[in-house]
């Protein structure tokens, strides 16, 4: 895998425009549901996050998100749906097809659909940060959608959405991180036939992945099939279900799990605004209700 450092002129630049331009008053969509209670909240997010394509929790459980096309990282308060800050990779801002974000070893990682990784230290509000680009070499195998951190083992997990070769298995690639180098530890096949059997679909196309902090189980969502599934760290299927209420989850593109078991799901906005759902009990318990 190859890596390069990207530098740029150090002039002062302000990204506050990204916050000012956003609607400061997110709407609690769950208030419109007849059975809404404290076990579920869903926020309609500010307009700048319409193409929200990934979520990641920091070590102290602050939520970061990235939208497609520009490497601008937003901190979102999942208790109220408000934006806290925004910072950018590079000046001018790095552009690309960003499909995942993770936080590992005090660095923020972004991933493109071709398996390119970009690494930078977290920036303050309005900052443009220097970044390092790393080519995983995995883009020839998969179109990727979904990046997660496994902090206990110091791994990044890349989720394959579609394979480049017909008949190949979908996989989760586990990458180790050492300094400025990443290397493949192993790849774990996704049991698509078993998942499809439980959700009534011939195909499964993961769009996001997260690692449950205590069990290290992998929770994945597939926007195209509106499915949520849970795998062991070895890739064995534990459960698979259809997400509730089509209007609630139109295009799930980001997922995270807090240490107290809350499941966070981000839906891309399409023609409207992105949404952030917060389930406050065990993920598969609330979804089945």
End-to-end Cα, the chain, rounded Å: 45
- Compute CA distances 109 → 17, 132, 251, whole Å: 23, 10, 23
The pTM of the full predicted model, rounded to 2 decimals, is 0.89
Residue 35 within any structural domain of the chain:
no
**Mean pLDDT throughout 38-45?**
88
> Could you tell me the residue range of the domain that residue 102 belongs to?
2-6+45-287
Alpha helix segments (H runs only) across the chain: 16-20, 192-199, 283-287
Half-sphere exposure of 13 (CA within 13 A, CB side): 18
Q: What is the pLDDT of residue 280?
A: 82
CATH label of the domain that carries residue 283: 2.120.10.30
pLDDT in tens, 239-256: 999 998 888 899 999 999
| Res. 8: pLDDT tops 50 | no
Which pLDDT band, with edges at 50, 70 and 90, does 45 fall under? Answer: very high
Other beta carbons within 10 angstroms of residue 163's beta carbon come to 14
Residue 36 within any structural domain of the chain:
no
**Mean pLDDT throughout 188-198?**
95
| Res. 286: pLDDT tops 50 | no
Alpha helix segments (H runs only) across 14-171: 16-20
Question: What span, in angstroms and rounded, lies between the C-alpha atoms of 109 and 103?
Answer: 6
Structure-token match 């309005």, residue found:
126
Residue 101 within any structural domain of the chain:
yes
**Mean pLDDT throughout 13-34?**
55
Phi (first) and psi of residue 20, to 5 degrees: -60, -35
Q: What is the pLDDT of residue 7?
A: 46
Residue 59 within any structural domain of the chain:
yes
Residue 11 within any structural domain of the chain:
no
Residue 158 within any structural domain of the chain:
yes
Residue 17 within any structural domain of the chain:
no
- In a 10 Å sphere around its CB, with 0-12 CB exposed, 13-18 middle and 19+ buried, how is residue 21 labelled? exposed
pLDDT in tens, 107-156: 999 999 999 999 999 999 999 999 999 999 999 999 999 999 999 999 99
Q: What is the pLDDT of residue 15?
A: 45
DSSP assigned state of 82: E
Residue 270 within any structural domain of the chain:
yes
Cα–Cα–Cα angle for 271, 34, 230, nearest 5°? 70
Structural domain tally of the chain?
1
User: What is the percent of the chain with per-residue pLDDT over 90, rounded to a whole number?
Assistant: 70
């Amino acid at each position: 895998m190859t890596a390069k450092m990207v530098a740029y002129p150090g002039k002062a630049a302000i990204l506050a425009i990204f916050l000012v331009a956003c609607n400061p008053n997110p709407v609690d969509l769950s208030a419109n549901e007849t059975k809404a209670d404290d076990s579920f909240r869903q926020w309609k997010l500010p307009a700048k996050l319409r193409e929200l394509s990934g979520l990641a929790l920091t070590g102290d459980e602050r939520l970061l998100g990235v939208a497609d096309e520009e490497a601008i990282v937003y901190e979102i308060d999942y208790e109220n749906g408000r934006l806290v800050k925004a910072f950018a990779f590079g000046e001018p801002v790095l552009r690309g097809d960003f499909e995942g974000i993770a936080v590992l070893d005090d660095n923020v990682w972004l991933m493109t659909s071709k398996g390119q990784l970009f690494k930078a230290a977290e920036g303050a509000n309005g900052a443009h940060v220097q970044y390092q680009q790393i080519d995983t070499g995995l883009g020839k195998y998969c179109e990727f959608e979904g990046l997660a951190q496994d902090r206990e083992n110091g791994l990044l997990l890349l989720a394959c959405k579609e394979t480049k070769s017909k008949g190949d298995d979908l996989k989760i690639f586990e990458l180790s991180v050492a300094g400025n180098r990443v290397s493949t530890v192993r790849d774990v096949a996704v049991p698509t036939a078993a998942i499809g059997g439980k959700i009534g679909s011939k195909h499964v196309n993961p769009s996001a992945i997260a690692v449950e902090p205590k069990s290290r189980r992998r929770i994945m969502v597939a926007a195209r099939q509106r499915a949520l599934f849970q795998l062991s760290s070895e890739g064995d299927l534990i459960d698979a279900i259809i997400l509730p209420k089509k209007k609630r989850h139109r295009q799930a593109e980001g997922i995270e799990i807090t240490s107290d078991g809350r499941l966070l799901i981000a839906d891309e906005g399409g023609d409207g605004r992105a949404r952030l759902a917060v389930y406050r009990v065990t993920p598969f318990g609330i979804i089945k209700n």
